Structures are given as structure tokens and as C-alpha cells.
Amino acid sequence: MGKSQELFDRACQCMPGGVNSPVRAFGSVGMTPRFIKSASGDRIRDVEGKEYIDYIGSWGPMILGHGHPAVLEAVEKAARDGLSFGAATQREVEMAELICEMVPSIEMVRMVNSGTEAVMSAIRTARGYTGKDKIIKFAGCYHGHTDTMLVQAGSGILTQGIPGSAGVPVGCTKDTLTATYNDLKSVEELWNANAGQIAAVIVEPVGANMGVVLPEPGFLQGLRDLCDEKGGLLIFDEVITGFRLAPDGAQGYYGVQPDLTTFGKIIGGGMPVGAYGGRREIMSLVAPCGPVYQAGTLSGNPVAMAAGLAQLKMLQKTPDFYRTLNDKADSFFEKLEQILEDAVVPHCLNHVGSLGCVFFTNRDVKNAADAQTSDPSRYQDYFRHMLDNGIYLAPSQFEAIFVSGAHTDEDLEQTLNAVSTFVNL
């Protein structure tokens, strides 16, 4: 691992923590990060030349696998046409039309450059539409690193053990209220205590930044009903679940339509991109049509749009893709569950479709507090063992396993065999 260590040492001299995003630092697993050189299908290769079966997939967007030929061809063609124009292009129109076609709750959509930017803009739009200031979010749900949302956020915040973030003024978070995931009563109590002030509830329809935490039956519909009853908007943060669980995301999978939806890099085939959209009457308030300002030179970047169009069209024109992927993932997680059960390992395995997570705890995980009962030392041992056996998992307990269409039965079996050797050590 000499070259990864050498690169990390160099990176630490010129980049905070040696990385450009905290979880990559491998801090919670006590290791030096692997520096990745290339990827194809369900495999990634590091600078030492070691190959791994990849269950991160750039944190979700590589649902077709790395380097899908249709996506690569689209990117190469678009790059030859020009990398960026700062002007309107045909591809961004086609992308907007395709998103509106695939997701029934969206009538208008605005492209941005990341999931963080999409959430920031959706919240501003919700406030502009309702004329109210307060937002309800859920402990453990991560909605990007804008000041407003860094309140009991999940993912890297949980991994680092940081309660929020330095540099965020109290005034930026005073209008952010935090409820408990899967607890409708906690939402109603906040709403009643702030009557007439709630602009929106924002939620990951499947919690995927505190590990994977599924919505209990009735939870999402209950949020929809509360928003309708009390006059606020419902925002689904589908940066992880969008186009992952179904062609119309978690909202289609669970049959609950939000007012606004945010997407991330899956609509760019893994390239830097995001989007937010919803009902026409709401989105018509966004500049230049209305008074809610949002802009970006690289929004709708032609190369990112080309990659995303190629990927989404592949998903759209392959009717059996999601059924096949979800069936394959269900079988994988069921076998994983059986291995852990047979070995009498304290655990909770949550999964839906091609998203899953193993918590090393003896209780069901239904919210952030439950997730934090997972044994971090056990996860560290698990992660190290799997990495040594050529399996690349998230270097954090509080992230998801992503199964892609490129994962073969043989690779899934290899992964299960590695788990078996771990629990029997």
C-alpha cells in the first residue's frame, strides 16, 4: 500500500485531512484511504493495482456500473462539442423533459450542480412559496452542508462525532427544527409549537445517511397528510433514492408524492450535477419567472447532461431493470442476513431494493438514536476484513451498501463468502 500512503502523506500537506470530503479519510476505520485509479463494471482499482468489488458506486449514481458504454459514448461526444458554454443547450431541455416524464410529481425542474445546492434551493423556494421561515428536518438525515441543514445531520457528521459544525451562526439554524425519523408525533408536536410558521418538512424518504433506515408503514403518508392539513410543503430529498429504487424514485416505490423533490449525481451518470423540481405553481416562483433567486454558470452543464440522459434513458427503456436489480439485491441481503443469524452475531440488517446496511447492534434500527447503538469497533474490524478480501464497502458505519446492475452472481457470492469468514474468525 506504499503509493496510497505516499499520496495521503502528500495530500495531508495541502488538503484538510488529506481529502476533499471527510468520509474518504478512513478516519472511523483507522486506516489510510485507498487512492482509486480506475473503475469498470462493479470493480474499482487502486494506485497499487489491487482490484475491489465496489459497493459504494460513487455513493449511489453508478446504478448501471462504472463506465457503461452508452454513458461513456455520450460523454465523449458531448466533450468534443464543448465542455461548458454558460448558455442554454438542447441537452438540458431534454433532461428536464425526461425527468418530468419519469417522475409524475414534477412539472418543472431546475438543474444545479450538486445535491447540496438542490436542497438549498428547494428550501428557499418552499419559503418563498409559503411566506414562512421554519423547516422541519429529521435527526440523522443529511441534506448537504449548507448552514441551515447542518443540524443533527447524518453521514460524515455521525462518523466524525461532530454535533454540528463550527462556523455556522446560531441565526442560520434558529428556523431549523429537528424531529425523530419514523415518529409522526414528534413532527406534529413541533408543528403545533410553531403554528403558522412551518414552510416545509424535508425528509429522506429512505434514511440513507445514518446507515439505511426504512420508513415504517404510514410514516411517509403521515407526513403528506400533516403537510396538507397544516399548510406546509413536503420535500423529498431523493439524492440517494432518486431513480435508484424505481423509475420514479422512492416516491413511486412507496406511493407518496411530495411537493418538491431534490436529486443528485445519478442524473449526471455520476458527474457533478443536481436538480430540484415540483409542481408548476411552486417552481414558477424561481427566477427569472418569479422572485426566488437561484443561478449557476455550470447548471445544466452539457457534458453532465449528456451522461445523465444516457443513463436515465437506459433505465427508462429497460422495463425489467429495476425488478431484476431489486430481486438480485433482495437475494443477496437475505443470504447476508442468514449468515449473520447462523453465526449469532448481534446485528440489524436494513434493506430496500438495492440499498442496504448492516448495523452491529442488538436492537432494531428505526432512527438516528438506534443507529448510534451500533458497535463502531465491530464495524471497523468488519470493514478491514472485507477490504483485505477485495470488497470495498463504505469506510463508515453510517452509509449504505449500493448494489448495481453490474454486480454479478459470482461477485455477490464472493462477497458473502468474505462475510462468512469474518463472522467465523
- List active site positions: 142, 237, 265
The DSSP 8-state label assigned to residue 18 in this structure reads G
Cβ-count burial 324-334 (b if 16+ within 10 Å, e if not): ebbebbbebbe
Rounded CA gap, 210 and 399, in Å? 6
Task: For residue 305, give the 3-state DSSP assignment.
Answer: helix
**C-alpha distances out from residue 75 to 305, 307, 387, Å:** 9, 6, 31
Residue in the structure block whose three cell numbers are 422495463: 319
Angle between helices 184-193 and 219-230 (to 10 degrees): 20
Record the cell numbers describing residue 346, joined without a space.
448481534
Task: Order across the sheet with 36-40: list the strands.
Answer: 36-40, 43-46, 51-54, 391-392
Rounded CA gap, 111 and 295, in Å? 9
The DSSP 8-state label assigned to residue 207 in this structure reads B
Record the cell numbers describing residue 315, joined without a space.
433505465
* Radius of gyration for the alpha carbons in the chain, expressed in angstroms and rounded: 21
Record the cell numbers describing residue 327, joined without a space.
430481486
Q: What amino acid is encoded at 413 in this protein?
A: E
Q: What amino acid is encoded at 30 in this protein?
A: G
Cis peptide bond upstream of 104, omega within 30: no
Rounded CA gap, 293 and 305, in Å? 22
Torsion of CA 318, 324, 326, 330, to 10 degrees: 180
The H or E element spanning position 235 is: strand 233-237
Contact between 250 and 206 (Cβ < 8 Å): yes
Rounded CA gap, 132 and 389, in Å? 52
